[in-house]
Amino acid sequence: MGKYETKDLRNIVLIGHGDAAKTSLAESMLFKAGATSRLGKVEEGSTVSDFDPEEKERRYSIDLAVLHCNWKGAELNILDAPGYPDFIGEAISGIAAADLAVVVINAAAGVMVNTRKVWDYAKGRGLPRCIVINKIDQENLDINALLDSIRETFGDSCVQASAPVGIGPGLKAIVDLVSPLPADLPADLKGQFGKLREKLIERAVEADDKLLEKYLEGGEVSKEETDRSLRVAIASNKLVPIMFAAPRKELGVGELLDFLGRFAPSPLDAAPIKGQHADTGAELVVAPTAPMLCVRAFKVTSDPFVGKISYVRVLAGALVPDSTVMNSRTKRNEKIGKVLRPMGKEFVPVDRLVTGDVGALAKIEEIAVSDTLCDAALPVKLPEISFPTSMVSLAVEPKSRGDEQRISQSLAKLADSDQTFKFTRDRQTSEMIISGISNLHLDVAINRLKRRFEVQVVTKSPKIPYKETIVGKGDATYRHKKQTGGAGQFAEVWLRVEPAERGKGFEFVNDVYGGAIPLQFIPSIEKGVKNVMETGVLAGYPVVDVKVSVYDGKDHPVDSKDIAFQIAGREAFKLAFAAARPVLLEPIANLEVTIPMKFMGSITSDLNSRRGRILGMDSLGSLQVIKAQIPLSEVTNYSTELRSITGGEASYSLELSHYDAVPAHLTQNIVEKSKAGKDKGSTSSKE
């Protein structure tokens, strides 16, 4: 493997909606650059990216794949991200490790819902972007309409940097608009492409005030000046170049590689990241030239045969084999064995990863996504990578009784590998709950549980995670007195409750004066209150956003003890809570439904019947995007119901928004069901 420096690196992530042929584009780039000897095909299961059995069977990407190739001295790390919104977590991991997002758009399908979502994620991180209109050898294309749609959706900073000669099956070539136009270009195209080239150069020189002034005054702008300003314009997000490609015909791929090598930002162009000193909390700025070691894990995989693999990006310093680093989260020193360069499922040992490089570490069990590896002498901690909240859940239990222990271990490994897959055990119901982005996401996880870890599960709908709170004030007194013949128990607690600010949680205040309750028993009262808050008062759900003030009480010199004040605190809280107008809170989700126009009436009517609140609507080419907020309880089986209404022509996404009070007429039914469930469980346990 040839040597390269930080300035030679180009870290790009391929993102976009499903069926944009990102993997085919990546495969063609590898083949064109000579990194592979044959052109793999998704439908044959022979690509470097899609190597997991689940991906080969389904014929689409599920995991982020890390690839690399060298093109004319530029060392490209290519992160191929899945396109379906069900696996958005993998795209976010790729965005966190890249210096340029290549947004790939299917020329026939146009801008789809996940195209916009991943664009927003990249934009939110400040990541420079480039657009590739892919598969332009398809029939019945309207490229001008697509370009208009792109500019309407993403802004007029999107400017063509290449142009196709011919279109659809008649596609002959892709022309690079940065370089002088080919001499053999037909006269009509020469004039058309010349105007496009002029617009690109104008947009590029706008990034440099002095160069813009020179250009507007009619002065000659050199190729070096144009190239430099183009790099600056892309790196500063003032220009989003639009390229064209047809991977099957291997057209536009060389031009794309040329463009990325010449104009994509290198790690040296990356904006500094603000972190903290892991011990003192002082701000530390991590830049590529900073004299420190700073490495961040952006992806982790676990496999029964391969073990744990941690994918990392070197943000400062260099990572070398047989060295020791500190994990600033765990404060543990970790011994680095081999340092690896990934190529799909293959890993090649290397003698170092330079600043800005992407690589992998094997069999370091304590590394998690977002962890920072650093020198113990300068422990830096970076902000965590932010992932969306998983809103679709299932209750699972092992099919075989012997798998109880293995299921927890296996689910933990899946959750370690996928930041949008979560599992918990519900303390009230003892249900094991798995959560993900969608039903498809959970279906993949369950299949992997069986394939990788040989654990099979049965599933059912879980309880909705309601919460309890109060909207008024309550006051109560409780005396706990117990005589058993030996040492007795005595405690009396006076407390009041009132609502805390929504989202603030639990606040406990000691307002006891004059020693009415000895100081050592105040924590006991708080513990009793917290215990009942966990199990709920109204319907068995956790209590949130409550302020509790203990203001009086009594003790006994002999019989007062910790357990007595725990019980008195617990029972006083129950009484005060019941007097403070308790309410149930339900999770409210942000829902986006993408549908053909013909289903607008049916979907809006259906959402209204589910207590949904329509927030707005967007056009996305020929599709409509309905944005709404809706109670999670109303959409537990929404994928099936949406498919029934639209015949499978719609898609949707859910993200947690907030909690809100359940309407009074629905609360009683939820409370009764909860009590019935408890009574049933109590009867079963007695039997």
Q: What is the pLDDT of residue 358?
A: 98
What SS3 class is residue 165? strand
Counting as low any pLDDT under 50, the low residues of the chain are: 681-687
Contact 255, 263 (CB under 8 A): no
Beta strand extents in 317-391 (DSSP E only): 324-327, 332-335, 339-343, 346-350, 358-362, 372-374, 380-381
Residues 6+ apart with CB under 8 A from 404: 398
For 608, half-sphere exposure in the C-beta direction (CA atoms, 13 angstrom radius) is: 6
Dist. CA 106–CA 393, nearest whole Å:
31
**Residue range 309-343, pLDDT digits in tens:** 999 999 999 999 999 999 999 999 999 999 999 99
Least Cα distance to 436 among 458, 456, 411 occurs for 411
CA 523 and chain centroid, separation: 39
Dist. CA 361–CA 367, nearest whole Å:
10
CA 471 and chain centroid, separation: 34
Q: Taking the alpha carbons of 351, 353, 359, 361 in that order, is the dihedral positive or negative? A: positive
Dist. CA 511–CA 401, nearest whole Å:
52
Dist. CA 561–CA 554, nearest whole Å:
12
Dist. CA 6–CA 98, nearest whole Å:
14
Q: What is the pLDDT of residue 272?
A: 93
Dist. CA 355–CA 350, nearest whole Å:
14
Dist. CA 307–CA 405, nearest whole Å:
19
What is the rounded (10 degree) CA torsion for 251, 253, 255, 259? Answer: 160
What residues form DSSP beta bridges with 392?
436
Q: What is the pLDDT of residue 80?
A: 98
What residues form DSSP beta bridges with 460?
395
**Residue range 167-184, pLDDT digits in tens:** 999 999 999 999 989 988
Contact 118, 88 (CB under 8 A): yes
Least Cα distance to 562 among 520, 511, 512 occurs for 520
What is the rounded (10 degree) CA torsion for 655, 658, 663, 666? Answer: 50
Supply the DSSP symbol for 517: S
Dist. CA 122–CA 570, nearest whole Å:
48
Determine how β-strand 283-286 pairs with β-strand 273-277: antiparallel
Residues 6+ apart with CB under 8 A from 47: 23, 24, 26, 27, 40, 41
Q: What is the pLDDT of residue 680?
A: 56
Supply the DSSP symbol for 167: -
- pTM (whole model) above 0.85: no
Q: What is the pLDDT of residue 504?
A: 87
Q: In order of start, what are the domains of the chain with their CATH numbers? A: 6-179+237-269 (3.40.50.300), 273-381 (2.40.30.10), 392-463 (3.30.70.870), 468-580 (3.30.230.10), 586-665 (3.30.70.240)
